[in-house]
């Protein structure tokens, strides 16, 4: 059975769209479609139903998926069993400018001897299957739900949320603002994917404090977001404390601390307990030593608040 066709099938099944699968495999969409079509022809069944939103597994596709995963895992293990040179440590960072990218740059600088490969997957929904299949060794994410058996996690960083406003915004001259005052403003956060872990975070945050979050409109990246905020007298957006700024910011853009309490995004490092990559323990220990921010009062999602109360410390989440 052709392994490239299997990889294409699994990617489409997990991404839900051929174009996203093509991005993940670094192929053209046409190449992915041809590989899936060849697999369907060889099996004599239809694996996907094409719908306006993408591709949905048929009953045969759902039956075939776990077996396709098993074949790819077995093939990977077979290759790795005879490789004399250790493969790179593969880590999903979600975005190069987000906190995981910052942490992995720090890890690379601290351990330049470790071969490292970073990947940018589309959230926990894509990262968990990749982790379970051995495609990656670790990922960084907030996980609002319990993880599958055999998957471990630890707090990587409780990242404070700041806000960004333009020079003409009523808050522009403030250094800090209590979260209760933010109810009167609209937060523009394009790119919130339905069902994503960051979507769950913002949904709970907005419900808790009565915030208005608008996620509509196209997401053209950080530069477009901050340019729009800089020109607006009413819009606000959240900004992770350690999100990297590349290049000069628009004139007059302001960052303000959020207090009473400070919302924090709970990044975790997640890995498979059975993973035997020789450098994984070094990564876990490096992340474990990361200092956490000193905050007088912080806000966590409810599940993590319950965990901190049980353990008596946020570091035990």
Does residue 239 sit in the same domain as residue 251? yes
Q: Which residues contact 186 (CB under 8 A, 6 or more apart)?
A: 212, 213, 214, 234, 235, 236
3-state secondary structure of 55: strand
Give this prediction's pTM: 0.72
Q: Where a domain ends, among 27, 47, 78?
A: 78
Q: Please name which of 135, 105, 110 lies closest in space to residue 25, comparing C-alpha atoms.
A: 135
Q: How far apart are CA 85 and CA 73, in angstroms?
A: 19
Q: How far apart are CA 88 and CA 25, in angstroms?
A: 18
Alpha-helical regions (H) of the chain: 3-15, 18-25, 29-43, 59-82, 99-110, 124-133, 197-209, 222-231, 280-288, 302-311
Write the CA distances from 129 to 92, 149, 228, 242, integer angstroms.
12, 13, 36, 27
Q: What is the number of structural domains in the chain?
A: 3
Q: Please name which of 47, 65, 64 lies closest in space to residue 56, comparing C-alpha atoms.
A: 47
Does residue 179 sit in the same domain as residue 230? yes
Asked, for residue 84, whether it belongs to a domain, the answer is no
Q: What does the DSSP 8-state code read for residue 131? A: H
Asked, for residue 305, whether it belongs to a domain, the answer is yes
Does residue 173 sit in the same domain as residue 117? no
Asked, for residue 67, whether it belongs to a domain, the answer is yes
User: What is the CATH classification number for the domain harbouring 37?
Assistant: 1.10.10.10
pLDDT score of 96: 79
Does residue 232 sit in the same domain as residue 168? yes
Termini Cα distance of the chain: 44
Count Cβ atoms below 10 Å from residue 53 Cβ, excluding itself: 8
Looking up tokens 């759902």, which residue turns up? 62
Instruction: Kindly tell me the sign of the dihedral angle through the C-alpha atoms of 121, 123, 125, 130.
Output: positive
Q: Which domain holds residue 73?
A: 3-78
β-strands 176-178, 89-92 pairing: unpaired
Does residue 130 sit in the same domain as residue 272? yes
Q: Walk along the chain (317 residues) and give the pLDDT tens digit of each residue.
A: 799 999 999 989 888 889 888 888 888 999 999 999 999 999 999 999 988 878 899 999 999 988 898 888 788 777 767 765 568 999 999 887 889 999 999 999 999 999 999 988 878 988 998 888 888 999 999 998 889 989 999 999 999 999 999 999 999 999 999 999 999 999 998 878 778 899 999 999 999 999 999 988 777 777 788 888 888 898 999 999 988 876 677 788 899 999 999 999 999 999 999 888 999 999 999 999 988 888 778 999 988 876 554 333 333 34
């Amino acid at each position: 059975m052709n392994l490239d066709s299997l990889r294409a099938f699994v990617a489409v099944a997990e991404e839900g769209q051929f174009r996203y699968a093509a991005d993940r495999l670094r192929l053209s969409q046409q190449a992915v479609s041809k590989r899936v079509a060849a697999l369907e022809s060889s099996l004599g069944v239809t694996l996907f139903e094409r719908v306006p939103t993408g591709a949905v597994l048929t009953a045969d596709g759902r039956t075939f998926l776990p077996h396709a995963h098993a074949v790819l895992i077995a093939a990977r293990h077979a290759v790795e069993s005879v490789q004399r040179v250790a493969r790179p440590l593969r880590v999903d960072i979600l975005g190069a400018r987000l906190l995981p990218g910052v942490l992995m740059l720090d890890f690379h600088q601290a351990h330049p001897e470790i071969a490292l490969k970073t990947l940018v997957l589309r959230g926990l929904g894509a990262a968990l299957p990749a982790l379970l299949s051995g495609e990656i060794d670790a990922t960084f994410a907030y996980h609002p739900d319990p993880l599958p058996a055999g998957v471990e996690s630890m707090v990587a960083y409780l990242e404070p949320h700041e806000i960004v406003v333009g020079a003409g915004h009523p808050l522009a001259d403030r250094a800090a603002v209590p979260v209760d005052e933010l109810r009167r403003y609209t937060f523009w956060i394009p790119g919130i994917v339905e069902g994503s872990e960051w979507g769950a975070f913002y949904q709970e945050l907005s419900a808790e404090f009565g915030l208005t979050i608008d996620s509509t409109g196209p997401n053209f990246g950080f530069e477009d977001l901050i340019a729009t905020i800089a020109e607006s007298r009413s819009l606000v957006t959240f900004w992770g404390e350690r999100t990297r700024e590349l290049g000069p910011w628009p004139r007059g853009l302001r960052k303000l601390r959020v207090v009473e309490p400070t919302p924090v995004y709970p990044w975790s490092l997640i890995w498979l307990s059975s993973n035997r990559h020789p450098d994984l323990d070094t990564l876990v220990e490096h992340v474990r030593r990361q200092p956490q921010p000193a905050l007088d009062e912080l806000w966590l999602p409810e599940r993590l608040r319950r965990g901190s109360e049980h353990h008596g410390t946020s570091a035990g989440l």
